[in-house]
Amino acid sequence: MITDYERIEKAIVYLKENFKEQPDLDAVAKQIHLSPFHFQRLFKDWAGVSPKKFLQFISVEYAKGLLKQNLSLSDVSFETGLSGTSRLHDLFIGIEGMTPGEFRNGGEALKINYSFAETPFGDIIIASTSKGICQLAFVKDEKYGIENLQFFFPNASLFQKTDMIQQEALRFFSGEWNDLQKVKLHLKGTPFQLKVWQSLLRIPFGNISTYASIAGDIESPGAARAVGTAIGSNPVAFLIPCHRVIRSSGIIGDYHWGSERKTAIIGWEAAKVYPEN
């Protein structure tokens, strides 16, 4: 008897192999012999997103590769199976938060200030635009930090400068967590990633949550794995508190910047909230 996992695996393979045809819900459901309603619910439980959104992710990734080859927008639209450049534009705005042209320019005209700072948990690079913090990462050295920033914003203009936005954020490492609401963020991610990161911001200082709880909070109870992937893609360490999420078993779990650092941050926050008498 075919399992739900095998059905979803077959659907994903079908979508990847036929995305240029932009198959609708009925067409994909037919491939795995389920009603569209049942397939939609089952797919979202396993993948964390709807079949339509998954198809959009595949299409955008393919289009991104074509844009890097400097194809025209009309050619990219045609090769991706979209009806026109307006659909390509809407797709990029919805998934990437930028137009196809802005993606191709790799952040061109975007001005980013960055600086390095010491924290109780290691050195960091913190970067900001006029809209807010766009990156905060623990780094081994300054060279690595700059290279990592350039990787995510390849054509942006970078300036080594500590601005007011960064200063407000750095106060958080001194334990002034009540001021976090003043910190502005400039984030780029998929709608699902943004929902997960917003959920992380709702975890109170000094508290912890689980991947399953985050999945429930964003109304995707079967998407714990997808939540874990989105958490791992968090571009702003500490301020977006992905360190506060552990496994349901109580195991600390992985952390992009090291599980030991994650343990130390959790303990530091707990000590601030529940000091010994």
Residues 8 and 88 in one domain: yes
DSSP labels for 119-144? ETTEEEEEEE-SSSEEEEEE-SSHHH
- Predicted pLDDT at 270: 86
Residues 175 and 231 in one domain: no
**pLDDT tens digit sequence for 36-70:** 999 998 888 887 778 998 899 899 889 988 988 88
**pLDDT tens digit sequence for 190-212:** 778 888 999 999 998 889 999 99
- Predicted pLDDT at 176: 64
Handedness of CA 255, 103, 220, 48 (dihedral sign): negative
Q: What is the CATH number of the domain that holds 122?
A: 3.30.160.70
Residues 160 and 205 in one domain: no
- Predicted pLDDT at 191: 75
* Full residue range of the structural domain in which residue 141 is found: 111-182
Q: Single out the residue in 74, 104, 134 at which a domain terminates.
A: 104
> How many separate domains does the chain show?
3
**pLDDT tens digit sequence for 111-165:** 899 999 999 899 999 999 888 999 999 998 999 999 999 988 887 889 999 999 9
Residues 165 and 197 in one domain: no
Query: 100, 68 in Cβ contact below 8 A?
Result: no
Residues 175 and 266 in one domain: no
**pLDDT tens digit sequence for 168-179:** 888 888 766 665
Residues 174 and 223 in one domain: no
- Predicted pLDDT at 179: 55
C-beta neighbour count of 270 within 10 angstroms: 14
Q: Single out the residue in 144, 162, 182 at which a domain terminates.
A: 182
**pLDDT tens digit sequence for 65-112:** 898 888 888 998 999 999 888 888 888 877 776 778 777 776 556 789
Handedness of CA 246, 240, 182, 145 (dihedral sign): positive
C-beta neighbour count of 169 within 10 angstroms: 25
Residues 121 and 42 in one domain: no
Q: What is the CATH number of the domain that holds 95?
A: 1.10.10.60
Catalytic residue flag (residue 134)? no
Look up the pTM and report it: 0.63
Query: CA–CA separation, 223 vs 243, rounded Å?
Result: 19
Is residue 277's pLDDT more than 60?
no
Residues 89 and 14 in one domain: yes
Residues 171 and 207 in one domain: no
Residues 135 and 93 in one domain: no
Query: CA–CA separation, 149 vs 135, rounded Å?
Result: 8
Q: Single out the residue in 73, 104, 135 at which a domain terminates.
A: 104
Residues 15 and 99 in one domain: yes
The one catalytic residue in 187, 224, 242, 265 is: 242
Residues 139 and 208 in one domain: no
